[in-house]
Structure 1
């Protein structure tokens, strides 16, 4: 499979969103991509950089190689030595990683995350999600989204068998460096639920119906989101017995992570029926193509212009 070309998905199967969540909704995968983007290439270097077992590291490197996010290059044959190099597919994930860094830095206490400097203006900066068409900042409420030809909730969640294995590995000792992000993305129902919340769903029964999820799982995910202050539970004015779940300021601030993940997914995974999601920036009326601008100088942020301090 060429890493320059998108992966063609099976008709009627998981769409680009489901495929993306199956890959990125795992902390070890995110950490490996982070290290690879920082220049780590060899097995021993990955092992030294994070508290990961040999079995999990081998499985993730094989997965990332199979999915075109890393390229395995044998540089010595006797004894066999290989390195894992980034590809266009993994390098294009840097906006997503930048969004996670910025959100965790601002909203999750107790982090010792590195500072980042925009070398164009030589200032420490925060990325501002903007529309590539008009250049203006783009908040979640300014994005109109509707399902595309391959889009529905059932096709937008990862395959259960894969996620059950990954969840069990995380329980037995994940690194814990992206704790709240993994609460949102690291569970197949949680990731779908946050998408439903951004689509305007607020009631328990509506979450249950939209996701076709067991009520116990919906209740569990809603409790988890309330616990990390991504959702707030309120009473309905007309029906006090109905609880409603609304995105908090912290929850709405997660939108750049969602936006960049969706952008990446629909660039690299294609269903024969067409896109999973269609998004419009209502401010300018153009198809929404997210990009980051520097909050200090307002210019577009490119990967080459970010320096870690």
Structure 2
């Protein structure tokens, strides 16, 4: 993969200046929260009532209310009255929210592939079109060829810079007591990346060739203690590997493992979604080309059995059909 977004003037010229988030920055800011992802995951399988979210997640009233309000405010859910006395509401996907399903399926797929001990919470996906259990493949809509980190060329678009991607990442740090909340225990591997906004942008930068602590700090601008904590956790979950350099014994690099590289599909799906629902008048954040066919990258999920494009309405999880618009 061409790694031009890893550095250079475009990547750093606005650091230290408050810059409005671009489309990808909005998406990373929204999805970089473990509770938000788990709420949307339940919504995909039909959960809509407040009481049902509470029953299925070890989440406090305050946290659930704040996350639902945020999803409504962001236009992913619509709040609908279904009972008047007493008033009761359900939370239903909008078109924008329903379009998140490829990301959640991709995360689901990653967890099944790399964390087999958690398969009780990630049952198989069944493609209703062909009737087979499947592991959908992130593919090019033009040639239907697989899209992986090594066959995509990427460069900054007019709205692209790291500063505008990370500008919405200065939020709370996830507590080290997260196990008490229960959220992290659902998908610990995937949540090590997508459950924290800084972790997400660190992995994205690593995919573009950033490796040294000082370079992550220069390109992304996180507080050093936060960066050290995130890098340590990503190494603990085998997303990154800290490698001592033979040429400089006191230097080390953080290199993506195979597990880490496999997050490329999920991150690319975030870009797909973000560019669709947060269009910037300046233009695209990233210019992506699928090298095998030479066409602009537009990703889809394809069934690994029947080779047909997968649609949200044609996915079954443990006999519970996903509810997409």
TM-score by length of 2: 0.85
- In the aligned structure 1, how far is the partner of 2:70 from the partner of 2:177? 15
Aligned to 1:5: none
Aligned to 1:249: 258
SS of equivalent to 2:117: coil
SS of equivalent to 1:210: helix
Alignment of 1:120-199 (within 5 A): 120-157=129-166, 159-160=168-169, 163-164=171-172, 170=178, 173-175=181-183, 176-199=185-208
- In the aligned structure 2, how far is the partner of 1:171 from the partner of 1:20? 25
Q: Which of these residues, 268, 282, 299, is aligned with residue 291 of structure 2?
A: 282
TM-score by length of 1: 0.89
Aligned to 2:234: 225
CA contact (8 A) 1:128 1:294 kept: yes
- In the aligned structure 2, how far is the partner of 1:21 from the partner of 1:134? 28
The answer to whether structure 1 residue 95 and structure 2 residue 106 are counterparts is no
In structure 2, the CA distance between the partners of 1:281 and 1:167, relative to structure 1 (3 Å rule), is farther
Aligned to 1:18: 25
- In the aligned structure 2, how far is the partner of 1:61 from the partner of 1:91? 15
Number of residue pairs aligned between Structure 1 and Structure 2:
298
Q: CA RMSD in A?
A: 2.1
- In the aligned structure 1, how far is the partner of 2:180 from the partner of 2:30? 19
Q: CA deviation at 1:94?
A: 0.7
Aligned to 1:50: 57
CA contact (8 A) 2:300 2:309 kept: yes
Q: CA deviation at 1:87?
A: 0.9
- In the aligned structure 2, how far is the partner of 1:79 from the partner of 1:15? 41
In structure 2, the CA distance between the partners of 1:160 and 1:231, relative to structure 1 (3 Å rule), is closer
Q: CA deviation at 1:233?
A: 2.2
Q: CA deviation at 1:29?
A: 0.9
CA contact (8 A) 2:71 2:77 kept: yes
CA contact (8 A) 1:12 1:150 kept: no
CA contact (8 A) 1:28 1:174 kept: no
- In the aligned structure 2, how far is the partner of 1:259 from the partner of 1:188? 16
The answer to whether structure 1 residue 37 and structure 2 residue 44 are counterparts is yes
CA contact (8 A) 2:25 2:167 kept: yes
Q: Deviations over 1:59-95 (max 9, x none)?
A: 1111111111111112333322222111111111111
SS of equivalent to 1:244: strand
CA contact (8 A) 1:17 1:262 kept: yes
Unmatched 5+ residue regions in structure 2?
1-17, 319-325
Q: Deviations over 1:116-162 (max 9, x none)?
A: 1112222111111111111101111111111222221111025356x
